[in-house]
């Protein structure tokens, strides 16, 4: 995969994903000590080790950095090129030994997610791409699903959202709903055409979705905020109201499906 604009970026992303592979090899999913941050989100030694490795591999002078596991440095708001990463998306699944977690690396230029890489060590899947050269899945070209109807479409849902009952409005539809952890991994699967749709109507942070959005759009797919706008990244407040993603021909039907259930509140400042 070559790209005149993003060849160097993709090489750095690939090197960082390889470095994350080495870090993951030091830990055993399902058998790792866990701490809890404010809000009861789990964090492990693996999260912090991955964050340090990604920063070392990716960050260059003049670039900004936004990571779930780093103290936010507002200098990023002055940068046109910013890395938005989640060192370990799906920590809950990692702690439980469920193979639905990943390292998620997004690259933002002038507020737009333009390149990304996602690696799931449990399934040994690598997704890599940029807007001007498409997406690869385990080194082979991939694209978003070309399906033209939601009837029978595979939709990846947040396992925790399903448990909370947030997907009940969609249970008696023609969708094939599959609960799964890690929003980044779900977006990666949509980018490679391995699922047709994923969406969340609850708030997510930029580090959860930026890499996945870059991949879906690089694969020719559709993404949107709940406000029906393109995702603008590297904002002062990284919290989003929610996100939709699908193959390109499902956009209108997906928006029609979810619109009655969207209750967008202004994210907390």
pLDDT at 219 over 50: yes
Cα dihedral sign, 199-48-71-6: negative
- The verdict on 54 and 133 lying in the same domain is yes
- For 229-253, how does the pLDDT look when each residue is reduced to its tens digit (9 = 90+)? 999 999 999 999 999 999 999 999 9
Q: Is 89 helix (H, G, I), strand (E, B) or coil?
A: strand
Whether residue 44 has pLDDT greater than 90: no
CATH of the domain at 17: 3.30.540.10
User: What phi, psi does 66 have (nearest 5°)?
Assistant: -135, 115
Residues 209 and 137 in one domain: no
- Residue ending a domain, choose from 116, 141, 166: 141
Q: Is residue 31 part of a domain?
A: yes
What mean pLDDT comes out for the span 208-236? 97
Q: Is the pLDDT of residue 1 over 70?
A: no
The pLDDT value recorded for residue 171 is 92
Mean per-residue pLDDT for 173-198? 97
Q: How confident is the model at residue 263 (pLDDT cuts 50, 70, 90)?
A: confident
pLDDT at 264: 57
User: Given pLDDT bands bounded at 50, 70 and 90, which one contains residue 269?
Assistant: very low
User: Is residue 249 one of the residues assigned to a domain?
Assistant: yes
Per-residue pLDDT for 41 more than 80? no
Q: What is the pLDDT of residue 38?
A: 61
55 domain residue, yes or no = yes
Predicted pLDDT at 31: 81
* Separation between Cα atoms, residue 265 and residue 9, nearest integer Å: 35
Structural domain range at position 186: 154-261
- Residue 15 and residue 132 in one domain: yes
Looking at the fold, whether 44 and 129 belong to one and the same domain comes out as yes
pLDDT at residue 174 is higher than 60:
yes
Domain boundary among 78, 110, 141: 141
Mean pLDDT of the chain: 93
Task: Tell me, rounded to whole angstroms, the distance of Cα 100 from its chain centroid.
Answer: 12
Sign, Cα dihedral of 230, 240, 238, 90? negative
CB proximity list for 165: less than 8 A, separation 6 or greater = none
> In terms of domains, do 12 and 135 share one?
yes
- Which single residue is written with the structure tokens 């849902």? 157
Whether 20 maps to a domain, the answer reads: yes
* Co-location of 33 and 55 in the same domain: yes
Q: What's the half-sphere exposure (Cβ side, CA atoms, 13 Å) at 34?
A: 15
Whether the predicted pLDDT of 4 surpasses 70: no
Q: What is the DSSP letter of 196?
A: S
Q: How many CB atoms lie within 10 A of CB 52?
A: 13
Does residue 1 form part of some domain?
Answer: no
Contact call for residues 200 and 98 (beta carbons, < 8 A)? no
pLDDT, tens digit (0-9, with 9 covering 90-100), for 65-114 = 999 999 999 999 999 999 999 999 999 999 999 999 999 999 999 999 99
250: β partners: none
Asked if 87 and 160 sit in the same domain, the reply is no
CB atoms within 10 A of CB 152: 10
Answer yes or no: do 50 and 161 share one domain: no
Q: What is the pTM of this model?
A: 0.94
Quick one: 11 and 137 in the same domain? yes
Structure tokens at 124: 């040994």
Segment 216-228 shows an average pLDDT of 97
pLDDT band with cut points at 50, 70 and 90 for residue 46: very high
Structural domains counted in the chain:
2
């Amino acid at each position: 995969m070559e790209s005149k604009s993003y060849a160097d970026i993709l090489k750095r992303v690939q090197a960082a994903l390889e470095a994350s592979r080495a870090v993951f090899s030091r830990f055993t999913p399902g058998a790792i000590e866990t701490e809890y941050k404010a809000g009861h989100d789990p964090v492990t030694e693996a999260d912090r080790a991955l964050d340090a490795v990604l920063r070392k591999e990716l960050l260059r002078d003049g670039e900004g950095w936004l990571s779930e596991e780093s103290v936010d440095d507002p200098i990023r708001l002055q940068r046109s090129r910013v890395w938005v990463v989640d060192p370990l998306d799906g920590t809950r699944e990692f702690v439980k030994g469920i193979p639905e977690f990943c390292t998620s690396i997004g690259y933002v230029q002038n507020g737009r997610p333009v390149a990304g890489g996602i690696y799931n060590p449990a399934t040994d899947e690598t997704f890599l791409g940029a807007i001007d050269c498409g997406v690869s899945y385990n080194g082979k070209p991939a694209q978003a699903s070309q399906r033209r109807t939601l009837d029978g479409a595979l939709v990846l849902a947040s396992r925790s959202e399903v448990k909370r009952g947030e997907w009940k409005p969609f249970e008696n539809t023609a969708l094939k709903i599959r609960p799964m952890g890690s929003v980044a991994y779900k977006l990666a699967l949509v980018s490679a055409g391995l699922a047709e749709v994923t969406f969340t109507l609850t708030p997510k942070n930029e580090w959860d979705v930026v890499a996945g959005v870059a991949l879906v759009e690089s694969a020719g797919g559709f993404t949107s905020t709940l406000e029906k706008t393109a995702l603008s990244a590297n904002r002062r407040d990284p919290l989003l109201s929610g996100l939709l993603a699908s193959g390109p021909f499902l956009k209108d039907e997906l928006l029609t499906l979810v619109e009655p259930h969207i209750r967008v509140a202004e994210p907390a400042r």
